[in-house]
Structure 1
Amino acid sequence: MTIRVGERIPHATLTRIRDGVDVVTSEELFDDRKVVLFAVPGAFTPTCSEQHLPGFIQHMAQFRERGVEVACMAVNDAFVMDAWARAQDVPDDLVMLADGNADLTRALGLELDGSGFGMGLRSQRFALYAEDGTVKILQVEAPGEFRVSSAEAMLQALDAR
């Protein structure tokens, strides 16, 4: 079942890429913080690499001004996420998360079966905003679309709160 606004981010363990890799829990990422988490179906894929991640990189200052941390997640391994972060010149304060076993993706109920495209289990494209571990905004893309989970859409949603 898909997580809903008003629910807490479920427990999961992820790999954070920051000066190497370390294991981090969802509680460590979300508790006592304001966080936008956006998820992509895959690192190095066209929309993810050409629009989704670059949009958040471009607008990081606007999230900082609002006191909001930003994290990018994909069902990829930590080595792929690290290479993608370097290739995209991701700033240090944009947290890159590898959900290699799709633990958080499945716990959120936002998995995608990409088997028809040779990708296996992936995350749907989405963005959420959480305060102190509770979802306040959830924007999930329709299949094949990229509108509601963009950096610009999330900034608009934050300003509308």
Structure 2
Amino acid sequence: MTIRVGDKVPAATFKVKTADGIKDITSDTLFSGKKVVLFGVPGAFTPTCSLNHLPGYLENHEAILAKGVDQIAVVSVNDPHVMHAWAQSTGGEGKILYLSDGNGTFTKAAGLDIDLSAAALGTRSKRYSAIIEDGVVKALNIEEAPGQAVTSGAAELLTQL
């Protein structure tokens, strides 16, 4: 079942690659006592994710933070090495937290998984954006088609903050 507005986000542990190696970040650490903009993408380096979805959050980084957001994070069912390389290649390092949900644990628990086996991608994340306050979903925008980034884009999310 897909999480909804008013639900608490599922407990999970994400991975991030830092200068000191791979580190764990729990959903509790990420969301407790904070206002977080989280957006999910089917895959790092994929066309819509890299050319459309992520750039909007980079371009609107300051405007989003100015609305009282503590952290902007992107999550994908990719390994932490890929997410780190994506952060470096997009210029988003230090602006957006690039979270690896390599096994899709968080994505599946939130009901935001999608089978993209037909495109040789396996189980991935639906494209979405969310506003999460103290671990509770305040807004959730899920795209109908993974190749679009309108409903879940930064411009739409800014109107909800």
- Aligned-residue Cα RMSD (Å) equals 1.1
TM (norm. structure 1) is 0.94
1:17 Cα deviation from its structure 2 partner: 3.7
Q: What code does the residue aligned with 2:103 have?
A: N
Q: What code does the residue aligned with 2:36 have?
A: V
Aligned to 1:23: 24
After superposition, where does 1:6-155 map in structure 2 within 5 Å? 6-19=6-19, 20-68=21-69, 69-143=71-145, 144-155=147-158
Q: Distance in 2 between matches of 1:21 and 1:152?
A: 32
Tell whether the 8 Å contact from 1:18 to 1:95 is kept in structure 2 after alignment: no
Give the % identical residues.
Answer: 44
Write the deviation string for residues 110-149 of structure 1: whole angstroms up to 9, x where unpaired: 0010100000010000001010000000000001322111
Q: Is 1:156 paired with 2:159?
A: yes
Tell whether the 8 Å contact from 2:48 to 2:148 is kept in structure 1 after alignment: no
Structure 1 gap ranges (5+) = none
Q: How many residues align?
A: 158
Tell whether the 8 Å contact from 2:35 to 2:68 is kept in structure 1 after alignment: yes
Q: Distance in 2 between matches of 1:152 and 1:17?
A: 28
